[in-house]
Structure 1
């Protein structure tokens, strides 16, 4: 039976294509699907075959344009500063605006299930207040503290022994504490919509029927234990709508695929150092700048082809190594193709993804400040040590098994079957908004 799904996402760079991939898959199965999103994403949403709906009071941004970017985390000087911008400008600060827009759309056109990118706690609040099943989508590794793993964020290796476990307990408290500054704004949004306040922001992420992790379980630590409502449903391997056609550099030398963030992270000089490094090696380079960097502004040697975009899933069939910021999408597509990585994290969740790649034995990490010579040494090491490709191919087999069926669609269709009868309008809560029965 056909159901109606309302998705909610924001201009979060690499988080957008996986969300739209799930939306498109549901639409292809005959369901009604529409997506609340920043106007800068509407062309991409429409290209996915689903209907875009604009936020009206929630923030409007464009991650490819540093002037229009909402978070501007590239201006932060520390990881804590990056986090505070995300908390205050997306997750908690505008929670009431996201909730208001989500509820307005649900009142105008009811849906059976709300599916939101997990950082949009305001949209999730709106779904909870409307009394419909709610799912959140994590488009990277599971980002919250759990037993059996180091606290996420700093990119730590798993602890060993009593001192390691003490390290994890202390650091978890330090990592969780800054969320507290966002609690008043989040609870104001909840109270305004007839919901009880929560004790912590971390606890608010739990208030969903399903949290679907769009990441390979095989990439996470085997000792890690997850809450019962969490499901690993495998990664989405589709290329974004703007990826374009593939043009490969001439020759038959090993191909090095280069891709840093699709959003602006002040990455042009890092791209140029990677290109210079490849110029010293017997390889062909395909360097994709993404929407945030003009390819004409990237200096590169003759063996490196610079392009605005390329379909990475196709290019990886030819690649021997990927040099990447360790954004989850690029990293997982590479592993799914059995291609090892050199990771150059720029910020955000990238240190964590890079650590997991290293832990799996499928790549190595270098600093974003590394010289071209150091980058070249790392690339040469990955190309000439067969263990990296062997471990990448091991992960490729596990990812293929995880993605043999579309688990995300199965989970969301099961939620839709639990939805209340849609002839029952949501009852009014505080501030005129619907409240959960």
Structure 2
């Protein structure tokens, strides 16, 4: 069967989508990926065919100045969310829709799979009547009457007051989302589709919303009938080389991975490195493509590299220090490793709060000094309950990955499309 996969270069948010491509190719299906030029190598590594977006916005290099969002420029979390809305989700919807329609008109596909932020790609698939799977490489982010409001790290409702809170937050967030929908509805009108009130309604038009996380990790499931939890896809960002020489000795290994995209994290990485240099541990710090490893001080017990495969390092770690981006965090939990979460923005406070509620993480501020970071690391190393909680949660996440539900959903979508052709 043939799939069209629509993605964008979202740093660590992108590998799960490409892992879906790899899974389908290994199953014997054909996958064509519309994606940024910066993803060419990673897409080729999956065995899929890469095509750049003809007109939609995209990154031409990993340099910060070529980032589509530049959300680190925003002073508030709300400002950053509006930046994502205007530059990715809604603003360029017509261009994404046109590119997907052109691809579908040029050759036959049985299903379209699209990153959940690319509302325009979903419009293009809907316009041509192709079965659509929306990929959510994180926890479920849309407002819901049965879940806490996004962005505050609140716990699920436990009483009538909490439930009233969630219903009120749903109404407020849905209303706020309507403010950016004019470009979406203009694109829908161009393709003969009725308007929608908010991004959640566009998601509702997809045949499936496939949430690529552990259902045990997320809060209670949303009240949308097309949502399926299918387990995380533990795809790695391509590494610089085959491996890394760890610092010598047998002290506990600490793996550090902050965002693979630029989020002004140099100072935080420096404080983490100094904290780890003062402790009886071995550490590997990965800076990602946006940061030169030479900018971060190393030490005899602290190696600093641009990248290394998470699958190689994380299972050997005693703890992982992360910004709580979903990719790094869920890989640690799936490997039964507790985490020190230092959120920088985006969905990271939500991810960190969930890990902490499960007892598998300590969460500290991104402004924490080296002493506070060192104290948190020691807490995680010396208190066994964190590792026990991570092991318990990891078992449940692994079971969902091994269940095969993701592949069943993907092939089910394409089978419907093939029968309709």
Q: TM-score, normalised by structure 2?
A: 0.96
Deviations 1:134-165 (Å, cap 9, x if unpaired)?
11000000111234321122211223334333
Q: 1:117 aligns with which of 107, 115, 118?
A: 115
Q: 2:146 aligns with which of 145, 148, 152?
A: 148
Retained in 2: the 8 A contact 1:13–1:63?
Answer: no
Change (3 A) 1:183 1:396: same
Give the match for residue 80 of structure 1: 78
**Residue 54 of structure 1 pairs with residue 86 of structure 2:** no
Residue 422 (structure 1) shift: 7.0
Give the match for residue 226 of structure 2: 229
Retained in 1: the 8 A contact 2:18–2:235?
Answer: no
Specify the SS of the correspondent of 1:317: helix
> How far apart, CA to CA, are the structure 1 residues paired with 2:205 and 2:179?
19
Give the match for residue 10 of structure 1: 8
Retained in 2: the 8 A contact 1:64–1:262?
Answer: no
Specify the SS of the correspondent of 1:89: helix
1:70-219 residue pairs with structure 2 within 5 A?
Answer: 70-219=68-217
Change (3 A) 1:391 1:190: same
Q: 1:394 aligns with which of 368, 372, 392?
A: 392
Retained in 1: the 8 A contact 2:146–2:163?
Answer: no
> How far apart, CA to CA, are the structure 1 residues paired with 2:32 and 2:125?
15
Give the match for residue 246 of structure 1: 243
> How far apart, CA to CA, are the structure 1 residues paired with 2:79 and 2:35?
25
> How far apart, CA to CA, are the structure 1 residues paired with 2:412 and 2:8?
25
Specify the SS of the correspondent of 1:274: helix
Residue 366 (structure 1) shift: 0.4
Give the match for residue 303 of structure 2: 305
Change (3 A) 1:39 1:330: same
- More deviation, 309-318/75-84: 309-318
> How far apart, CA to CA, are the structure 2 residues paired with 1:149 and 1:421?
37
1:412-423 residue pairs with structure 2 within 5 A?
Answer: 412-419=410-417
> How far apart, CA to CA, are the structure 1 residues paired with 2:48 and 2:33?
7
Retained in 1: the 8 A contact 2:25–2:46?
Answer: no
Retained in 1: the 8 A contact 2:37–2:61?
Answer: no
> How far apart, CA to CA, are the structure 2 residues paired with 1:310 and 1:64?
17
> How far apart, CA to CA, are the structure 2 residues paired with 1:304 and 1:43?
29
Q: 1:279 aligns with which of 277, 280, 283?
A: 277
Give the match for residue 360 of structure 1: 358
Specify the SS of the correspondent of 1:375: helix
Deviations 1:331-368 (Å, cap 9, x if unpaired)?
01101111000000000000000000000000110010
> How far apart, CA to CA, are the structure 2 residues paired with 1:211 and 1:187?
20
Specify the SS of the correspondent of 2:65: coil
**RMSD over equivalenced CA pairs, Å:** 1.5
> How far apart, CA to CA, are the structure 2 residues paired with 1:375 and 1:338?
21
Specify the SS of the correspondent of 2:144: coil
> How far apart, CA to CA, are the structure 1 residues paired with 2:136 and 2:210?
6
Retained in 2: the 8 A contact 1:110–1:422?
Answer: no
Q: TM-score, normalised by structure 1?
A: 0.93
Give the match for residue 67 of structure 1: 65
- More deviation, 349-358/302-311: 302-311
> How far apart, CA to CA, are the structure 2 residues paired with 1:176 and 1:267?
32
* Uncovered stretches (5+) of structure 1, i.e. residues with no partner: 424-437
Retained in 2: the 8 A contact 1:63–1:264?
Answer: no
- More deviation, 248-257/141-150: 141-150
Deviations 1:69-104 (Å, cap 9, x if unpaired)?
011100010011001111000000000000000010
Specify the SS of the correspondent of 1:316: helix
Residue 225 (structure 1) shift: 4.2
Retained in 2: the 8 A contact 1:146–1:224?
Answer: no
> How far apart, CA to CA, are the structure 1 residues paired with 2:112 and 2:159?
42
Specify the SS of the correspondent of 1:84: helix
